Structure 1
Amino acid sequence: MICPWADNGALTGFLERQQDVLSSQDKFALLNDIALGLQYLHNESVVHGDLTGSNVLIYGNGRACLADFGLSTIVLEFIELCEAPEDNEISLSSECDIYSFGSITLQVLTCKVPYCNVRNDIVVLGQVIKGKKPEPPKESQIAPRHWGFIERCWLPRASRPSVGDIVAFVACERQALLNIDRSTGI
């Protein structure tokens, strides 16, 4: 697989380096790019299956793009993305990507990876298996409507928003931020 060079690297590192300068508008621009990329994949009947901060690349102009989609068919570390159906078979579906988008949203809005307060990967895996969802870092000031949206992405599969709902939510939040900026003259 070949893709263009992304000057700013992966989302996780980009957020760590830029957390003090990224505005809410910048963060929702990133989420918009990710949501639109996910919508494109789902419209083409492709499930990403491994949507993490390591698989979102940031170009020099600050635009985000999805990378490594489809690799999940050979990677088995996606248990946290999916709930085991009643027949105990784990399968990838677009709902798995929706769950991951919730985690990406948490990461972008807080500039911290989910479970950042847990230092041991084994403990994280244990929390995931037990169904314990990540919490926002204590120092973050995440808006209640944004937290509510994230939690909707983590609901049982059939109750999660569609990718179209995600695109609409992000667009609505971006527009609200533009309106605030216009009214304050920023």
Structure 2
Amino acid sequence: MQKIDLLKNLNHKNIVKYLGSIKTETHLYIILEYVENGSLASIIKPDKFGPFPESLVAVYIAQVLEGLVYLHEQGVVHRDIKGANILTTKEGIVKLADFGVSIKLSEADDNTHSVTGTPYWMAPEVIEMSEVCVASDIWSVGCTVIELLTGVPPYYDLQPMPALFRIVQDENPPIPDNLSPGITDFLHQCFKKDARLRPDAKTLLSHPWIKNSRPVVC
């Protein structure tokens, strides 16, 4: 019910819209907007489209950032940004979904300083349970960029616990060698170890890699 209270107040083109709920004696059904093309994680599977080129990743990530700008302005941290939670319509509009572990910063307490999210996309401060902040979503955006480019997130060759250890210990997650300078710099911005130094979603929308990929409206 708390998640419904959070969802029903969100209204943005890049966020899946809450339409209503039905409560029975045994179940609670949440009715959400239908997003027909499914998740980006399902589209990049080898038996479908496969990993995306940089230009397409930039188009999708720009919309993810637009959604995050809105969310963060509402004081909401998504806490589980990944390809499986990014849905797309047949027109190519991206929508953030699955707010099951999201939190309003105004409602954060000691119980919210828990290891929450999905291991390979998780920011170091979340693993260390040091703080709940919007910058954690930015780290996850970086992991999602690598996921969309390669088909898997960073450290996917490791079991979850060793992966969490490496996320905390390494200077930054491994970045593929064959990327353009623009996207490489974007990833380094997302992967700043100190959460306070990570640019926010609005700033990243102005990053050259994102700006250069967006269509010019005359």
Please give the TM-score of this superposition, normalised by the length of structure 2: 0.66
Q: What letter corresponds to residue 83 of structure 1 in structure 2?
A: E
Give the number of the structure whose alpha-carbon radius of gyration is greater.
Answer: 2
Residue type of the alignment partner of 1:124: A
Matched, 1:63 2:84: no
Within 1, Cα distance between the matches of 2:69 and 2:141? 11
3-state SS of paired residue (2:60):
helix
**Higher share in helix:** 1
Cα-to-partner distance string for 1:36-74 (whole Å, 9 max, x where unaligned): 111110121111111112211122333211012362457
Cα deviation 1:86-108 (Å, max 9, x = unaligned): xx753321111111111122222
Counterpart in the other structure of 1:83: 125
From 108, 112, 120, the equivalent of 2:159 is: 120
Residue 182 of structure 1 aligns with which residue? Answer: none
Q: How does 1:1-186 map to 2 (within 5 A)?
A: 1-16=30-45, 17-19=48-50, 22-69=52-99, 71-73=101-103, 76-78=115-117, 80-83=122-125, 89-116=129-156, 118-131=157-170, 133-137=172-176, 141-155=178-192, 156-169=194-207, 171-175=210-214
Q: Partners in 2 of 1:113 and 1:23 — Cα distance?
A: 15
Q: For the structure 1 residues 12 and 67, does the alpha-carbon distance in structure 2 shift closer, same or farther, using more than 3 Å as the test?
A: same
Question: How far apart, in 2, do the equivalents of 1:149 and 1:18 lie?
Answer: 24
Deviation of 1:145 (Å): 2.2
Q: How many residues align?
A: 171
Aligned to 2:8: none
Aligned-CA RMSD value: 2.9
The structure with higher relative contact order (CA 8 Å, sep 6+) is 1
Distance 1:15 1:53 in 2: 9
Q: Identity of counterpart residues, as a percentage? A: 24
What 5-or-longer segments of structure 1 have no aligned partner? Answer: 180-186
Counterpart contact for 1:15–1:111, Cα < 8 Å: yes
Cα distance, 1:77 vs structure 2: 3.0
Structure 2 counterpart of 1:157, one-letter code: A
Q: TM-score, normalised on structure 1?
A: 0.76
Q: Which amino acid aligns with 1:144?
A: P
Counterpart CA distance in 2 for 1:28 and 1:130 is: 28
Question: Contact (CA 8 Å) 1:110, 1:136: kept in 2 or not?
Answer: no
Q: What secondary structure, in the 3-state scheme, does the structure 1 residue paired with 2:69 have?
A: helix
- CA distance in structure 1 between the aligned counterparts of 2:83 and 2:154, rounded to whole angstroms: 10
One-letter amino acid of the structure 2 residue matched with residue 100 of structure 1: S
